[in-house]
Amino acid sequence: MLELFQIILTLLLFFILSIINMGIIIKVKAFFGGRCGAPVLQKMYDILKLVKKSIKLSQTTSWVFFAAPFCALVVPLFAFLFLPFADIPPLISFEGDFLLFVYIFGVLRFFTTSSALDTSSSFEGMGSARELTFSFLVEPILFICLIILAKGTSSLTLYGFFGSHILEAWQDYSTIFGIVVVCFLVILLVENARIPFDDPSTHLELTMIHEAMVLDHSGPLLASIILGGAMKLTVYAILLVDLAIPFKTNILFFDVLIAITGVLGVGVIVGIIESVMARFRLNAINKVLIGMLIVSLFGIILITR
């Protein structure tokens, strides 16, 4: 009974962090712009408002169009079950689970791009093509980083990657794990359509990537995508924090507090990056991602030498 209560509280905390983290990003960007900004819970208000609205559908859409909002909610939640949070072990853990962790986001990307193509919109097709191009470069980076962690921790589970012995692994491979932290941050920005790789607030169709794929979604469908995007950002933030903050106090309350601070700190970092940097040119994004791929391969060479 106590374990079930802990699971429910952890999932509730995950939802709350997802909403608050998006609000913190908005607040940080407003601070750098000299404005007060929207409330921290503005995303929640937007989602509730969208839920009350009706759904407008294109005549060309099929069941595929509804699959993307469903996957947007289910996939990040399912991915969170594989990650340890503070000193709380994941609900699901088995050898090789990091492979499933990567590929379930591939499933989300497949249905998101498919639903965009299902609308027969040229702009959404253009956004899908760009999304798949960048994901082609990002997935190898994530795989290589997880392989580095597998080698450094002598484990094949995500729980083993970030378990109690992660601090000892940091002492042995501090430089290499530092490379992985930087790669995780870049992956977080790309996968969540953040500046400098994409602009989630843009309204110019010719430059949109992720936003171009959800132009035809409305009402509860769009609310699901927005909430799913917030949860996806939190999943990657937890992945980053689990590695970047390896120490544990062995006191659950303090470990959870450190983890929450770390996740919200990632939101602050994302907000600062979006405030001080401009979006890259589309032809420069490929070069940056290829450069990060080379850096991650350099980490493989270092850890296997």
pLDDT in tens, 223-245: 999 999 999 999 999 999 999 99
Across the range 189-206, mean pLDDT stands at 81
DSSP code of 8? H
pLDDT over 90 (residue 8)? no
Domain coverage including residue 204: 2-304
Across the range 213-224, mean pLDDT stands at 89
**Gap between the Cα atoms of 92 and 71, Å rounded:** 19
* pLDDT reported for residue 44: 92
**Gap between the Cα atoms of 29 and 280, Å rounded:** 18
**Gap between the Cα atoms of 194 and 202, Å rounded:** 11
Model-level pTM? Answer: 0.94
pLDDT over 90 (residue 271)? yes
pLDDT over 60 (residue 11)? yes
**Gap between the Cα atoms of 299 and 175, Å rounded:** 9
Q: Count of CB atoms within 10 A of residue 245's CB? A: 18
pLDDT over 70 (residue 204)? no
Across the range 191-214, mean pLDDT stands at 79
Query: CA 214, 194, 218 angle in degrees (round to 5)?
Result: 20
Question: CA–CA distance from 91 to each of 21, 29, 201 (Å)?
Answer: 23, 35, 35
| pLDDT classification of 203: cutoffs 50, 70, 90 | low
Q: Count of CB atoms within 10 A of residue 128's CB? A: 22
**Gap between the Cα atoms of 196 and 277, Å rounded:** 6
Looking up tokens 């002598």 gives 154
Q: Count of CB atoms within 10 A of residue 8's CB? A: 10
> b or e along 150-171 (b: 16 or more beta carbons within 10 Å of the residue's beta carbon)?
bbbbebebbbbbbbeebeebbe
- Give the three-state DSSP class for 88: strand
**Gap between the Cα atoms of 227 and 236, Å rounded:** 15
**Burial of 125 (C-beta count, 10 Å sphere; 0-12/13-18/19+):** middle
Q: How many structural domains does the chain have?
A: 1
Structure tokens at 19: 């909403």
pLDDT over 80 (residue 164)? no
Nearest to 182 by CA among 246, 243, 115: 243
DSSP code of 101? H
- Give the three-state DSSP class for 36: coil
Structure tokens at 82: 């594989």
Instruction: Identify whether the C-beta of residue 267 lies closer than 8 Å to the C-beta of residue 288.
Output: no
Please tell me which residue, 252 or 49, carries the higher pLDDT value. Answer: 49
Handedness of CA 267, 225, 287, 196 (dihedral sign): negative
Looking up tokens 């990003």 gives 25
